[in-house]
Amino acid sequence: MSPRTDPRQFQTLLREHEGIVFKVAGLYAHHNEDRQDLAQEIGLQAWRSFARFDPSKAKFSTWLYRVALNVAISQLRKTSGSWNGKLEPLDQQHRDSIGAEPMPEPDERLTALYAFIGQFDPLNRALILLYLEDKSYAEIAQILGITETNVATKIGRIKQTLRGQMTGAASTGA
């Protein structure tokens, strides 16, 4: 049996990197039940693709991010009509469910930041997720299948947008 078709190896790797699955599911799904379904679908698609995983081309975590984001964005496109294209912003309950460190009392700026991120389109949401995970531009480019230059440009625009929104929110007292 090839190492990349060994279910035990896959289960071990997936368990070691399950945080990726839960973070992506938490960022792209609306309700807890939807997040669970999305996480399960990500796991299934990762298993189906595992035989094509090439450790000489990417780390497992990079490969898994790519699979997870592709599945999440595909699911979002299929179901966006039922959500009217709107996703709820990440709140403390979402961050808890995706395994993020619990925060004592999120201040208004952090709450606003998550609300603004929740309004981004799926690609920009993926970009900011990977950026906040301290992935390099090269890793982000590999995961999303775009150039490093495109990553840098898009992240620059996202930062500019977030700065403007955060400044606007602060000046209006929101």
Percent above pLDDT 70 for the chain: 75
Provide the 8-state DSSP code for 173: T
| Own/partner long-range contacts of 120-129 (Cβ < 8 Å, ≥24 apart) | 120/158, 122/28, 122/72, 122/73, 122/76, 122/77, 123/73, 123/154, 124/154, 124/158, 125/27, 125/28, 126/69, 126/73, 127/151, 127/154, 127/155, 127/158, 128/155, 128/158, 129/23, 129/24, 129/27
At residue 43, the pLDDT reads 94
- Average predicted confidence (pLDDT) for the chain: 80
Residue 116: what pLDDT? Answer: 81
The percent helix, strand, coil of the chain (3-state, each to 5) is 70, 0, 30
**Is the pTM here over 0.75, yes or no?**
no
| One-letter amino acid for residue 39 of the chain | A
Using alpha carbons only, give the angle 135, 55, 63 rounded to the nearest 5 degrees.
Answer: 45
- How far is Cα 78 from Cα 165, in angstroms, rounded to an integer? 29
Contact yes or no for 14/21 (Cβ under 8 A): yes
Whether the Cβ atoms of residue 40 and residue 10 lie closer than 8 Å to each other: no
**155 has pLDDT over 90:** yes
The winner for highest mean pLDDT among 68-82, 100-114, 120-134 is 120-134
Tokens at 39, concatenated: 């996480």
Q: Is the pLDDT of residue 59 over 60?
A: yes
CA 10 to chain centre: 21
According to the model, what pLDDT value does residue 92 have?
A: 47
Alpha helices, DSSP H, located in 81-147: 92-97, 108-118, 122-132, 137-144
